[in-house]
Structure formats: C-alpha cells, structure tokens
Amino acid sequence: MKIAFDGKRFFNNSSGLGNYSRDLVRVLATHFPAHEYLLLNKSKTAKGESILSLTNVDFIPTSKGNLSRQLKMGKDAQNADADVFHGLSGELPLKWNKKPIRKVVTIHDLIFLKFPKYYSFFDRKIHLWKFRQAANQADRVIAISEQTKRDIIHYLKVPEHKINVVYQGCHAAFKSKKTDEERSVVKLKYSLPERFILNVGTIEERKNLLNVVKAITDSEIPLVVVGKKTRYFGHVQKYLIKNKMQQRVHFLEGVSMDELAAIYQLADIFVYPSVYEGFGIPVIEALFSGTAIITSNRSSLPEAGGPDSLYVDPYNVADLKAKVLFLWENKSERDRRAEKGLRYVTKFEDEEVAADLMRVYESLLNKQE
C-alpha cells in the first residue's frame, strides 16, 4: 500500500499539528514497514529528518504555484500512484484527476464553533468552509477523541458510520525514564525550584492559566509554565505583579522535547484546567512521565486523563485550589495516581495508534467500488 500525506504541518509546525503529523508517520512507518509513505510539500525542512531517513518514507515535491496545496497536491499524490491520501489537519485538496484514490482527513477539534470568541470572524468562516469541504469529500474522517466525533456529527452533520476515533500518542521522549543526571542538568539549566507544579501549553485564554495562578496565590507553591506567550500572557503577568508572585512563577520557552520530558518527571503535579480540548496531548505526556494530573472535567480531557487523574471545573478556582493542595501535601496519593496512570496510558502506545490507523486504510481499500 502507498499512503500519501499532506506534509505542510509535518515540515512547518514545531508543536501541535506538527507533532501529530510526525508521530503519525513515524508510528506507521515503524510498525507497518511493508508499506510506503509519501510526504507531499513544496519543500523539506529540518523537522522530521529522522523520519525521512527511514527507507519506506519518501518526500514528494509538489507542483509550484499559488494554491498548489489546494489545487495540485491531490493530483500529485495520484500521479505518484498513492492508494490513500491523508489530510492531517482538517483539510483535503480541492482538485483531483480520475485516478482512483481513497481520501482520509483527520479533524482535531471544532473549538472555533464551540467557543467562537477565541477566533476572528474571518478565521471562523474559513475554518468552517475548509472542514466542511474535507468532511464531505473524504471517504473516512478520523476524530482524535470521542468528544471530537460527537462535535463532527453535531456541527458538520457527518454520518457516524463515516467517522473513526483514533487517539493520538505522543513523542517518544516522554516514554523513557530520564536519569538523575539528565534531570539535574535540566533543573540547573532552567533554575527550576526543588518542588513545583507544572503547566504546559500555549499561554492563551482557553488554556486557563490565570486560574492556576489564582489557585496558588495564598500558598508558597512554585509554578513552572512551558509554552508560547500570546496577548493573554499580559493578563497573567498583571495578576502576578499585583500579587507579588513574579518570583514564584517561572516561564520557559524554547525547551526541547527531551528537556520537556525531564521537566515533566521533575514536577510534583501537572495542572491543566483547559476550558476545552480536542484531545489534550500534554495530559498524555504527563501520564507517560509518571506525573500526577489535575485537569478539567470537560471535553475530551477525561478520555485522555483516565480514571485516576483528578478533575475540576475549570472555572472554579476554589475547587482547583483544594485539589492542588491535596496532592501537593500527599506524596503517597501522587504516587498512587501516577502509577495507575502509567497503566492506563498503554492505550495510547505507538502500537495501538498504528494498528488503529492501518485498520482505517485497509477497510477503505477492501471496500467494494
């Protein structure tokens, strides 16, 4: 089987959709080496070099010109004799030739419809048009959680039989125990506190960092935040200055995957009270890292966190504060939940993700014309 992928996010995105794209191609190529995997894009970048070095992964330069991703990439995949084309970020090419090819699209979330205040009017309209086009022409839609599946049915009116839920995994860096020396090097490099709670993700309103800060205001608990700053950071910073907390909250950017894995393992608690997520990869990263988790009781986060994470109403600061203090003061409880989380997270292992994806492709090719 020859499977082609829209490589835009694979080559151009550092996190989020980029990590999803690279992990997906990596697990397929590793666990199903008999097949060929084609990455289509205008050009290569340094991202994903190790994956491109695999013998069954090839780069296909797409046709040049404006809108080539929309108008030419699909035909390029067909001309390369691909059996399946997989759009990895909610989009599919608009133009195809007459060669047979099965079309798959992954839709990560529809947050722009559920929480429109986080998006401009223009972005909402463009996203909705692209997602509808892709869902309508796809032979199969992949949702990354049961929550996303329900949203696709509700908002895009896609029939349930056309949707498969295939969970995401995470980068291999989070699946290995760092040595004491590796952790010490990272701790020293970033001047991390002896004990701390951790939050990972873009610093934006939906991720709800301000409520984490409010929850620890009257304590001495240090907080480490790893993520890109947006305009919302200004609100957080203003609160920190007003409450003289600047020395207790540490902001890190430009952290490598291996360093981030060490930081997860150094943290006492991972706190992630996001208002809404299509899946919540940081929760999976924390589970693999053996770190106790507090996250939201909404959207897909209980799917990601499993039965032994602690859940909060993301808008209820008192609830969040009580649960942070409970875990902070109870090492045995942290250890118990982390150990059970390690057993739960096996459902997101590479082998499981790869097998679920391959079943989707095979079902399409086995289907009668």
Token couple for 237:
């910073």
- Tokens (6 digits) for 168: 């995401």
Q: What is the mean pLDDT of each run of 10 residues along the chain (369 residues)?
A: 94 83 94 96 89 94 82 93 96 94 95 88 92 96 94 95 93 91 96 97 94 96 95 95 95 93 98 93 95 95 95 97 97 96 92 95 80
In sign, the C-alpha dihedral spanning 49, 20, 12, 129 is positive
Instruction: Identify residue 155 by its one-letter amino acid code.
Output: Y
How far is residue 248 from each of residues 7, 134, 152, 184, 240, measured CA to CA in Å? 41, 46, 41, 20, 9
Cα separation of 309 and 344, whole Å?
10
Q: Which of 234, 243, 240, 225 is nearest to 205 (CA)?
A: 234
Task: State how far the Cα of 144 lies from the Cα of 106, in Å rounded to an integer.
Answer: 7
SS3 category, 288: helix
What token pair was written down for 66?
A: 């404006």
Q: Is 338:292 a contact under the CB 8 Å cutoff?
A: yes
Distance CA 235, CA 251 (A): 14
Farthest CA pair distance, the chain: 67
Task: Measure the CA angle with vertex 254, ends 251 and 260; round to 5°.
Answer: 80
Nearest to 90 by CA among 16, 1, 201, 170: 16
Q: Which of 192, 193, 203 is nearest to 227 (CA)?
A: 203
Please report the pLDDT score of residue 48 as a whole number: 85
Contacts of 347 (CB under 8 A, 6+ apart): 167
Rounded distance, CA 285 to CA 7, Å?
A: 24
The token pair at 303 is 């799917």
pLDDT at 270: 98
pLDDT at 322: 97
How would you label 176-215 residue by residue, b for 16+ Cβ within 10 Å and e otherwise? eebeeebbeebeeebebeeebbbbbbebbbbbbbbbbbbb
